[in-house]
């Protein structure tokens, strides 16, 4: 959520900013609603003030033992007018809130302006792309052939876009989780956190999955309105909803491994083969809560933390800055990390690291006490995948494959897996 002041005092500039994203702000509608709101609000407040003073005087008169009946009839008339105004005002505020809840964040000045993913900016590449002297297989061939990856079983148990992993591959995935958590907690200063995998609507609103992305969530049932988390960002960030954090507690750095559940509503034909796009996948998430002035430095660091995992695993990758047309709804700036996938002869997203500035914090009322002003002020929130575990598994299988279909286990993982090679 943007600061309401943007809509009240700088409507035109805000609309211009948002246009970069391809978002059309309903300027005239907002202007009209805000004008109406302003009139109704001050009228309502005047009526309330009058009611308050009159009621107060009734109390005083009563205390003096006077007859209050005439005073009371005088206030009676106020009631109806007041109630009517209050209802109108509430309706307008609801409309405004509905509009504002669907307005995306304004992007940082360093974000390239562009219409779609073709205009994202590559920042750098790391690692040497492996050269194979034999026809490369994709992770499906590598996994299914030896019955360590089974999509038919998952389809039987549940449906499309799930997987069953067995033996060394199941173990390798667990090893990856362990390795990532160990690295982030021991080397990058994050606190390991265990969280619920179901989140309520307030939490989903706080991290901007609602109201715009209702269709992407798996809800348990209508009464409860709990959803399976689409990312650990939701529970981790919402820990600080309605919290005022003491200045000396910042920055807060949390990491968690969780499964993630996504309907993938808008991607029916996409990545139907293999583990790239699943309804359920494992992820290790990084979340930081920081002082506003520190958030861009924190964003660089957090992205480096994710990159470190790729480097330790010796997986070739590149970093790109998402352009204004491709960046996520709530983000002011996002780096995507893309890992090399030999079977696709291209880089594929494996991590997305975003600075939300105060966008989520405003929705959540996540604040810190600024010692300079002594007042509670909104924090900045950041998060990034560190990394998407399923895709990391895919990347390892494909990059480390041998001619005979075996897979070398990356050196840093060997102590976790207990073997050097998956035969």
Partner RNA sequence: GGAAGCGUGGCAGAGCGGUUGAAUGCACCGGUCUUGAAAACCGGCGUGGGGCAACCCAUCGUGAGUUCGAAUCUCACCGCUUCCGCCA
DSSP label of 113: P
**Residue 391: Cβ within 10 Å count:** 25
- The pattern of x and - marking residues 315 through 354 that bind RNA according to CB under 7 A reads ----------------------------------------
Nearer to RNA, 54 or 121 (CB): 54
Cα(418)–Cα(415) distance, integer angstroms:
5
Between CA 60 and CA 68, with CA 65 as vertex, the angle to 5 degrees is: 65
Distance CA 148, CA 192 (A): 30
User: 44 or 352, CB closer to RNA?
Assistant: 44
Residue placing its CB nearer to RNA in the complex, 52 or 297: 52
**Cβ count near 297 (within 10 Å):** 11
Among 11, 33, 36, 48, which residue interacts with RNA (rule: CB under 7 A)?
48
- The catalytic position among 295, 352, 354, 385 is 352
Q: Which stretch binds RNA (CB under 7 A): 57-65, 159-167, 310-318, 410-418?
A: 57-65
Binding piece for RNA, criterion CB under 7 A, among 61-69, 208-216, 255-263, 286-294: 61-69
319 is catalytic: no
Q: What angle do CA 352, 355, 358 make, to 5 degrees?
A: 145
391 is catalytic: yes
Q: How many binding residues for RNA (CB under 7 A)?
A: 32
| Beta strand spans in 157-292 (E) | 164-165, 191-192, 198-199, 227-228, 244-245, 252-261, 280-290
**Rounded CA separation 279/394 (Å):** 16
Q: CB 9 → RNA: shortest distance, Å?
A: 9
**Is residue 220 a contact point for RNA (CB under 7 A)?**
no
Does residue 280 belong to the site contacting RNA (CB under 7 A)? no
Q: Which of 23, 33, 54, 294 lies at the binding interface for RNA (CB under 7 A)?
A: 54
Determine if 376 is a binding residue for RNA (CB under 7 A): yes
CB of 7 to RNA, least distance (A): 10
Q: Could you tell me which stretch among 52-60, 110-118, 274-282, 294-302 binds RNA (CB under 7 A)?
A: 52-60
| 225 makes contact with RNA (CB under 7 A) | no
If binding is defined by CB under 7 A, does position 198 make contact with RNA?
Answer: no
Phi, psi (rounded to 5 degrees) for 172: -65, -40
* Lateral strand order in the sheet of 191-192: 121-126, 317-321, 333-341, 346-355, 380-388, 280-290, 252-261, 191-192
- Interface with RNA by CB under 7 A: which range of 1-9, 135-143, 156-164, 179-187? 1-9
Q: Catalytic site residue 349?
A: yes
Contacting RNA (CB under 7 A), which of 31, 33, 36, 55? 55
In what side-by-side order are the strands of the sheet with 244-245?
A: 244-245, 367-369, 376-378
Residue 359 Cβ vs RNA, minimum distance, rounded to whole Å? 15
Q: Which is nearer to RNA, 91 or 265 (CB)?
A: 91
| Beta carbons of 259 and 281 less than 8 angstroms apart | yes
Q: Is there binding between residue 70 and RNA (CB under 7 A)?
A: no
CB of 222 to RNA, least distance (A): 12
31 is catalytic: no
Alpha carbon separation from 215 to 78, 103, 211, 261 (Å, rounded)? 45, 17, 9, 12
For RNA, the binding residue among 11, 33, 58, 99 (CB under 7 A) is 58
| Cα–Cα distance, 76 to 365 (Å, whole number) | 38
Please, are residues 414 and 307 in contact by the beta-carbon 8 Å criterion? Answer: no
Long-range contacts of 94-102 (CB under 8 A, 24+ apart): 95/33, 96/7, 96/30, 96/33, 96/34, 96/37, 98/211, 99/26, 99/29, 99/30, 99/33, 100/1, 100/2, 100/4, 100/7, 101/1, 101/205, 101/211, 101/212, 102/211, 102/212
43 is an interface residue for RNA by CB under 7 A: no
Q: Which one is catalytic: 148, 262, 319, 362?
A: 262
Question: Pick from 79, 189, 196, 211: which binds RNA (CB under 7 A)?
Answer: 79
Write the interaction track for RNA spanning residues 229-248; mark x where CB under 7 A is met and - where it is not: ---------------x----
Smallest distance, RNA to C-beta of residue 295, A? 19
Rounded Cα distance, 67 and 181, in Å: 74
The Cα 260–Cα 229 span in angstroms is: 6
- Verify binding: residue 41, RNA, rule CB under 7 A: yes
80 is catalytic: no
Catalytic residue numbers read: 262, 277, 349, 352, 391
Residues that bind RNA (CB under 7 A): 4-5, 8, 38, 41-42, 44-46, 48-49, 51-56, 58-60, 62-63, 68, 72, 75-76, 78-79, 244, 374-376
């Amino acid at each position: 959520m943007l600061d309401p002041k943007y809509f009240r005092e700088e409507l035109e500039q805000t609309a211009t900013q948002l246009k970069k994203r391809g978002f059309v702000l309903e300027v005239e509608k907002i202007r009209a609603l805000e004008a109406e709101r302003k009139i109704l609000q001050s009228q309502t407040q005047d009526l309330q003030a009058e009611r308050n003073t009159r009621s107060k005087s009734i109390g005083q008169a009563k205390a003096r033992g006077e007859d209050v009946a005439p005073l009371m009839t005088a206030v009676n008339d106020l009631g109806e007018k007041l109630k009517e105004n209050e209802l109108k005002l509430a309706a307008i505020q609801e409309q405004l809130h509905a509009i504002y809840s669907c307005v995306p964040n304004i992007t940082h000045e360093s974000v390239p302006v562009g219409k779609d993913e073709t205009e994202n900016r590559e920042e750098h590449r790391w690692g040497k792309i492996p050269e194979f002297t034999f026809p490369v297989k994709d992770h499906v061939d590598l996994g299914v052939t030896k019955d360590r990856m089974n999509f038919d079983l998952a389809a039987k148990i549940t449906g499309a876009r799930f997987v069953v992993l067995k033996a060394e591959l199941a173990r390798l995935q667990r090893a990856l989780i362990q390795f990532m958590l160990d690295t982030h907690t021991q080397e990058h200063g994050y606190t390991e956190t265990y969280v619920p995998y179901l989140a309520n609507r307030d939490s989903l609103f706080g991290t901007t999955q609602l109201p715009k992305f209702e269709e992407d969530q798996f809800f348990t049932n209508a009464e409860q309105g709990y959803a399976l988390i689409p990312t650990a960002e939701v529970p981790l960030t919402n820990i600080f909803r309605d919290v005022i954090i003491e200045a000396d507690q910042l920055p807060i750095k949390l990491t968690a491994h969780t499964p993630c559940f996504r309907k993938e509503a808008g991607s029916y034909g996409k990545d139907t083969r293999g583990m790239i796009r699943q309804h359920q996948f494992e992820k290790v998430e990084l979340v930081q809560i920081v002082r506003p002035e520190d958030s861009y430095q924190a964003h660089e660091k957090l992205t480096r933390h994710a990159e470190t995992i790729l480097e330790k695993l010796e997986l070739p990758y590149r970093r790109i800055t998402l352009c204004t047309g491709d960046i996520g709804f709530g983000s002011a700036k996002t780096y995507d990390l893309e890992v090399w996938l030999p079977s696709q002869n291209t880089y594929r997203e494996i991590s997305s690291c975003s600075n939300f500035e105060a966008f989520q914090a405003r929705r959540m009322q996540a604040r810190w006490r600024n010692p300079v002003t002594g007042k509670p002020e909104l924090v900045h929130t950041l998060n990034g995948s560190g990394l998407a575990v399923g895709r990391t598994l895919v990347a390892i299988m494909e990059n480390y494959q041998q001619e005979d279909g075996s897979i070398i286990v990356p050196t840093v993982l060997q102590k976790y897996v207990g073997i050097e090679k998956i035969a």
